[in-house]
Amino acid sequence: MATSISAQALESLTLGRVAAAIFLLTVGSFIVDFTWKPRYSKSLPRVGNGSGVVGTVKNWFGYMTQFNKWNDDGYQKYSKHGHSYVVPHAPSRIPEIVVARSQTAWLLELPDRTLSAKEAHRTVLYNDYQFFFLDDGFPIRTVHKHLARNIVGVIPGVQEEIQLAIDDVFGTDTENWKSINLWEAWLGIVPRVTNRILISAPTCRNKEFLKGQVGFADDIVRNSFILNIFPRVLHPIVARLVTTSNWWHWRTSFKIAKPVIEQRLHDMARKAAGDPKYDSYEPEEDLVTWLIRQAYAEGLTEELNAEMISKRLLPVEFAAIHTTVITGHTLMLDLLSTDPAQKLLDILRDETSTVFREEGKKHWTKTSLSKLHRIDSAIKESMRLSHFATALTHRKVIAKEGITNPEEGWHAPYGSLLMINLAGTHHDPDIYENPDKYDAFRFSRAREAYDVQQGGDEKKNLEEAMQSKRQGMVTTSDTFLPFSHGRHACPGRFFVAHELKMIMAYLLENYEIKPIVERPKPMWIGETIVPPLDAVVEIRRRKTV
């Protein structure tokens, strides 16, 4: 009897019925998803392809190719004139309220119990699935507490790793020009240098370890796009399937890192226990050590094992690797596509050699790197012009009662997402003169003018000194947002600034690079850039005099 029923059931499963069932499940899932999304005030203007069922579906399909245009339209029509607006998103994402540029301070000053940066990132990146359900902010908290205070000490090691990595990637042939894929070149440098302060040498040079860490970072980006198009009600199934690659890449790296982390845990535990054999022991100053110290400080014994520490490295790897690779990649394209008559590379090379010679040291220091005003400006200008995301400042409303905007009166209920339009701000002619032009020394002119001035009014000089310092790339503001702004600004930006300056200094001092006739164009998918990955440059080692 059971066999007969099973046979009848199988016979009834025609291709058409299966397709219809899948269709109904998909439509039903989107309907359920839609009911969970917050409703925004009708007083807020909308951009995109309209509202209602038809408009919503059009927006879902248009997100991948039109999101940038929607945001630009909204900025020009509303944001820069003091009005917020709503921009549609991918099917599983909540439409976001883009807060008016003039209200940036209001947004960023609201307390975390009302507007949460962590919950916004958790939503946007699907952290619950992508980071093994570890989303309590412990590694970021550790970076905040330990990176800045140790940055002076890590600079010599980072400089060493930069030099070794660049020599490996670009070669040392002084006779022949070498064609090299620029994206692959930066991928050969940045992950290795980044891991010098995460897990130290020699692990930071292990190709299999780096392959796993870079692969994990790639997984986060790719999986976010995939999960964007599936309704959230299906994520418990879909997400577990697509994030198997996350687990695989972590496992391959962990196999290599495990003995290193276990040895560090053992040695630091013995020193903490007062073992006289470890009186002179000093661990490497890297994130592994800092995570162990922070775990001891907070009494978090569950953090003191190799597997947990290796997983704690992952969000920092993700945050640091591709953002820095994209920044270095776009910087090189901006510099090399500028009119050669401006001699940008020669000017920058002269600055690095002059500062290094004046310091009279073999290694860069925090002080000497701070004097590279022109390189700092060239990097900052590239970050302004060639941003890699439409927005990097997101907040989620977690106050049960929601929030009400005091300026315009609109209400954002619990679960709403808010953001600041980075792209529009960075290309606003009211803020930046000729905003679509790469002006390498846009931010260094005021600093250089202050450095050469003599005498004058002391109060005025102090004001000018403060103004010149605010031109540096690590100084965030409501008009410069690549590192976000406010209390949740990127805690690693000081290290990134030093890292990029040292990379550029070594490249300029030791290599010749041919200019490119036309800057290759990137492509945008949704709110994220896809750099011109096939861009190739011609490079060779400079002959030493």
Which segments are annotated as binding site for heme? 490
Distant-in-sequence, close-in-space partners of 480: CB < 8 Å, separation ≥ 6: 380, 384, 426
Question: For residue 320, which of 191, 212, 211, 208 has the smallest C-alpha distance?
Answer: 191
Residues contacting residue 524 through CB under 8 Å, at least 6 positions apart? 65, 67, 68, 530
The number of beta carbons lying within 10 Å of the beta carbon of residue 70 is 24
The per-residue b/e assignment along 257-291, b for 16 or more CB within 10 angstroms, e otherwise, is beebbeebbebbeebeeeeeebeeeebbbbbbbbb
Alpha-carbon Rg for the chain in angstroms = 26
- Residues 24 and 364: their CA atoms lie apart, in Å, by 63
**Residues contacting 90, CB < 8 A, separation 6+:** 60, 63, 64, 228, 229, 526
Q: How far is CA 142 from the centre of its chain?
A: 18
Q: What are phi and psi of 540, to 5 degrees?
A: -150, 160
CA–CA separation, 319 and 321 (whole Å)? 6
Helix (H, G, I), strand (E, B) or coil at 392: coil
Residue 393, strand partner residues: 420
Helix/strand/coil (H/E/C) assignment for every residue in 128-188: HHHCCCCCCCHHHHHHHHHHHHHHHHHHHHHHHHHHHHHHHHHCCCCCCCEEEEHHHHHHH
Report CA torsion sign: 114, 111, 485, 118: negative
- Return phi, psi of residue 530, to 5°: -115, 105
Q: Could you give the angle at the alpha carbon of 375 between the alpha carbons of 372 and 376, nearest 5°?
A: 80
Binding positions are 490
- What DSSP string describes 262-302? HHHHHHHHHHHTT-GGGTT----SSHHHHHHHHHHHHT-GG
Residue 97's φ and ψ, nearest 5 degrees, are -85, 120
